[in-house]
Amino acid sequence: MYRSLKDQVYIISGAAGGLGSTLAKRCAAAGAKLVLTDRPDTDLTAVQRQLDTDPQNVLLHPADIADAGTGRTLADGAFEKFGRLDGGVACAGVIFFSPLLDLPSEHWDTTMAVNLKGTFFFLQGLARKMIEIGTPAGSLVSISASSANGPRPNNADYGASKLAIEHVTRTFALDLAPRGIRVNCISPGIIPTPMWKKVDRDRGALLGLKEGELTEKMIGAVPLGRLGEIDEIAAAIHYFLSDDSQFTTGQVLGVDGGWSLANA
């Protein structure tokens, strides 16, 4: 049995992606009502069809998360449809790879716009609405990555954005604690999502590795000796959303099989 989220309302960005869609399924199964958002060119209806819930419990709202007003628009929409807002999860993210000396400015700008700016203003927009309507005990969750722990080849922009997300998360947690709103962060390890397949292929190619070789090499550096499962990340987020985490805020939880212990 999942921890109950019955009748609670959460907004999930990046909901058409591997983590976002898995989280949506888990939250719906736990009784939550959801606002799902992703880029306009993604198929959110396919995600909705996979949810074990009444379609009336789901609002689809395609949007550009890099737009500073998107978070507030989503929050207003959630309250208008469901009459409450309990929190949200900023799953949206992008990643590019290029040698440090060849990193294009447009890759840097897009990474920061989606990952960092998108996360900050998503959290800000939801928090403002939750304070306005008097949400008594809300929960917001951001997504970092093991790349925040130290330098990684060929993706300085991504690592910088994720480290900054951890700082932003802790700052929101400190500022919002008096309002009863918890803010935490999940830092996943190696999870076989579509984004990780891109990492394996594109970063691996820059390192002179064939497809699949980077994954095997990195598994060898995970103390628990395996890849993570996408639902293990969703389960950790679910904990932060649930009442079980009422005394937890400002934390960055690594769900990485011990990767960060040996690869700081």
Give per-residue pLDDT as tens, 6-28.
Answer: 999 999 999 999 999 999 999 99
> Which domains does the chain show, CATH number per domain?
9-189+230-255 (3.40.50.720), 192-227 (no CATH)
User: What is the average per-residue pLDDT within 39-64?
Assistant: 97
Average pLDDT over residues 34-63: 97
Over pLDDT 90: what percentage of the chain?
A: 83
Q: For position 175, what pLDDT does the model report? A: 98
Closest CA to 69 of 9, 121, 4, 31: 121
Given a cut of 80, whether residue 109 has pLDDT beyond it is yes
Provide mean pLDDT across the span 103-118: 97
Q: Please report how many Cα atoms fall inside a 13 Å half-sphere around the Cα of residue 228, on the Cβ side.
A: 25
DSSP for 204-236, written as a single string: HHHTT--TTHHHHHHHTT-TT-S---HHHHHHH
Q: What average pLDDT does the segment 67-79 reach?
A: 98
Question: What pLDDT score was predicted for residue 264?
Answer: 62
Check residue 177 and give its pLDDT: 98
Question: For residue 145, what is the DSSP state?
Answer: -
Chain-centroid distance, C-alpha 225 = 24
- pLDDT tens string 216-253: 998 999 999 999 999 999 999 999 999 999 999 999 99
| pLDDT tens sequence across 143-187 | 999 889 888 878 899 999 999 999 999 999 999 999 999 999 999
Residue 202's CB is within 10 A of a number of other CB atoms, namely 18
pTM, full prediction = 0.96
* Tokens representing residue 25 in the block: 């399924």
- State the Cα–Cα distance between residues 216 and 225, nearest whole angstrom: 10
pLDDT at 1: 62
